[in-house]
A and B are shown apart, each in its own frame.
Chain A
Amino acid sequence: MSESILLGAVAYDPKVVTIWEGIREYFRAEGVDLDFALFSNYERQVATLLAGHIDIAWNTPLGHVRVQRRTEGRARSLGMRDTDRDFHAKIVVRRDAGIRTLADLPGKILAVGSRDSTQARILPLHFLRKEGVALDRVQLLPFDTDLGKHGDTGASELDVLRALADGRAHAGAVGDLVWINEQSAGRIDPQLVDVLYTTPGFDHCMFDALPSLSEAKVEAFQRALFAMRWEEPAHRRLLELEGLREWMPPREEGYDSLRRALEETAEW
């Protein structure tokens, strides 16, 4: 068994316990002594990683870019889900709101998710600004649900979709994951709403580690992680719960837009 690795994750849902108990068991069967600590919010998890009390943090994009910034880019990124690559946000509109293009948004009500949600607030607003939308003339209807969870619960996105469905908003910002899932599940009325705009792609969650994490731990963690297989029944259950089919190597370029958005709004 390798030296013990302590991983931090945020308990945004009871299933997080199931996921990490399962992954811990799998890692141990692979000879990697992994344990985990659960946090109620990403701010505490990031602080704990930076203080060196945990080895690895399973971070949202917002957590990730903050770790990168506070370590001046020296933190190590260890891996991400396939679904974390090329995430998009959508601007969805009511068909009866008379919004044909982004230029029609001023004067309308735009529902947005939690202020710490990358996909339902930070980046959609950033990209609308880049597209030249006069956001000061758009009335925002914010849903600051589950703050600290960085949008993981998807609750604020469901709030946005509800506001659209019942007419409290003309338009709304959601991540494509929630938008596609809700459509696949038949919970969206296509007669009532339509998608107007898709943002450029950005990357989502990442396993972050301090630069001081030993090479042996990095190697052990990545070896076990990347050996998980969708076709393997025991793995598949965990991968399904965590929302991926395949773990992918890390990459940094997918976070540039988020960094710029945080610079613009000085919300670091």
Chain B
Amino acid sequence: MVSRAGAVAINGGDLALGGGLLALLRPALDLLAPGGVVALRSSSAGVRHDLPSWCRFERHTYLECEPQSDGSDLHLVGRGRFAVAYATDAATGEADPHTGFAPLGARVERGGPRYPFTINRRDSAPPPQTTRQLYDQATLAQWDAARDIPWDRVQPLSPIVERAVGQVMTFLAENELSALYVPSKFVARLHPAYAETAMFLATQMMDEARHIDVFLRRARAGGGALGVSSVTTSRSLLSLLELEDFTEAAFLLSVLGEGTFLDLLRYIERHAPDEVTAEIARRTRADESRHVHFGVMHVRQALGCDAALARRLEETVRQRAATLHGVSGVPAPIQDALTILAAGSDEPGAVARGHEAFRELLSDMHAGRLKRLVHAGFTPAQAQLLSELHTPNFM
């Protein structure tokens, strides 16, 4: 914060008002509170004529001109009461929609237009320090789909396993697209007082873009086609995209959806038929754990500020479950592909083991959700209910 001096002296030399003098005068006036005085020494005769006129239009007060012994003038200008910028340091309570894109800490001139930000409260944005740390981690952890994946080591697989890989990658890419779109909806609604949140979401969106890219590359690398997109997946992801509340979306997308994906990606890594698939699953899971951590911190903060929120989130999960009513179990294409992936072949004994692995995955996912829900601030009983109501689509 600049100290608000009562008087400032500047030397304008022989600068004319239109010859650069304003670049000295205006910042000097900006240092002052209304009523403060700038003493301007000037040897320009034109300034005697122009300064009073300029002051009149800007509503500063031209006080007087004192001739000096060296032939120069000392002009005294009183700072007027218009266009005084106010500080925006404190981000407490409700952020002011009139500060627009001014970065927090800037001084803002009054009278600016109102911006259509709707996420204007600190308690609906995650804590700034955590967010900042996660942003720094995310920028350090960026990787490159072309450079960091050993694409030249993709090996020919049996057709049934290759088809399963293609189906898994199709499912992952479809869900990743929703994970790219959902946060993007909220970035433009976030008040820039919480810019670190928008910046973190930008890293998340970049991560998702890279995930979409690597999953589709892997699907095509084995020479096979993409798999099926099921109506269950489609319906589940639409119910995510339609959320209009930032915290509800963070909860459903990141805590429940991406949280569940952590277990899914671990499963894919463990059962990957080649090192390329394993590396893709490992790298994307590292990114996802940041997204999940951010979501958990967000919901935890919000639950701490709003006693009614737990109930509201439960209602949101129930409503979403209702849109998927009648759907029993994981969409068939992804269920079958995950089974074959774990089986590694179409030999019935292997498939039995694959089926067992898939059943274990479902219970691992449930256990993981319980842990994350409790970490986010729900009671074990609430966690149990929410996890059971979670979409069979995983996301």
Q: A-side interface residues toward B, CB under 8 Å?
A: 82-83, 86, 88, 90, 176-177, 179-180, 182-184, 186-188, 190-191, 194-195, 197-198, 230-233, 235-237, 245-246
Asked whether B114 is an interface residue with its Cβ less than 8 Å from the other chain, the reply is yes
A231 lies within 8 A of B111 (CB)? yes
Q: B-side interface residues toward A, CB under 8 Å?
A: 16-19, 22, 45-46, 49-50, 52-54, 56-57, 59, 82, 98, 110-114
B49 lies within 8 A of A186 (CB)? no
Residue of B nearest to A182 (CB): B18
Q: Give min CB distance, A201 to chain B, whole Å.
A: 9
Please indicate the chain A residues that have their CB under 8 angstroms from the CB of B18 in the complex. 182-184, 186-188, 190
Which of B46, B52, B82 has the most chain A CB atoms inside 10 A of its CB? Answer: B46
B50 lies within 8 A of A180 (CB)? yes
Q: Give min CB distance, A236 to chain B, whole Å.
A: 4
Partner of B111, one of A86, A188, A230: A230
Residue of B nearest to A239 (CB): B111
Please indicate the chain A residues that have their CB under 8 angstroms from the CB of B17 in the complex. 180, 183-184
Q: Assuming A83-B56, A83-B57, A245-B82, is B111 touching A190 (CB within 8 A)?
A: no
- Bound complex: CA A24 to CA B367 (Å): 64
Please indicate the chain B residues that have their CB under 8 angstroms from the CB of A233 in the complex. 98, 111-114
Q: Assuming A180-B54, A245-B82, is B111 touching A232 (CB within 8 A)?
A: yes
Please indicate the chain B residues that have their CB under 8 angstroms from the CB of A82 in the complex. 59
Please indicate the chain B residues that have their CB under 8 angstroms from the CB of A186 in the complex. 18
Partner of B57, one of A177, A237, A246: A177
Partner of A184, one of B22, B45, B59, B114: B22
B56 lies within 8 A of A90 (CB)? no
Please indicate the chain A residues that have their CB under 8 angstroms from the CB of B57 in the complex. 83, 176-177, 180
B111 lies within 8 A of A183 (CB)? no
Q: Assuming A190-B18, A233-B111, is B50 touching A183 (CB within 8 A)?
A: yes
Please indicate the chain A residues that have their CB under 8 angstroms from the CB of B110 in the complex. 230-231
Please indicate the chain A residues that have their CB under 8 angstroms from the CB of B59 in the complex. 82, 245-246
Please indicate the chain B residues that have their CB under 8 angstroms from the CB of A231 in the complex. 110-111
Partner of A198, one of B53, B82, B111: B53
Please indicate the chain B residues that have their CB under 8 angstroms from the CB of A245 in the complex. 59, 82
- Bound complex: CA A179 to CA B52 (Å): 12
B53 lies within 8 A of A88 (CB)? yes
A183 lies within 8 A of B82 (CB)? no
Residue of A nearest to B98 (CB): A233
B49 lies within 8 A of A90 (CB)? yes
Please indicate the chain A residues that have their CB under 8 angstroms from the CB of B50 in the complex. 179-180, 183, 195
Residue of B nearest to A184 (CB): B22
B53 lies within 8 A of A180 (CB)? yes
- Bound complex: CA A195 to CA B44 (Å): 11
Please indicate the chain B residues that have their CB under 8 angstroms from the CB of A198 in the complex. 49, 52-53
Known: A177-B57, A245-B82. 13 other contacts (CB 8 A): A82-B59, A90-B49, A176-B53, A180-B57, A182-B18, A184-B17, A184-B18, A184-B54, A195-B50, A198-B49, A198-B52, A198-B53, A232-B111
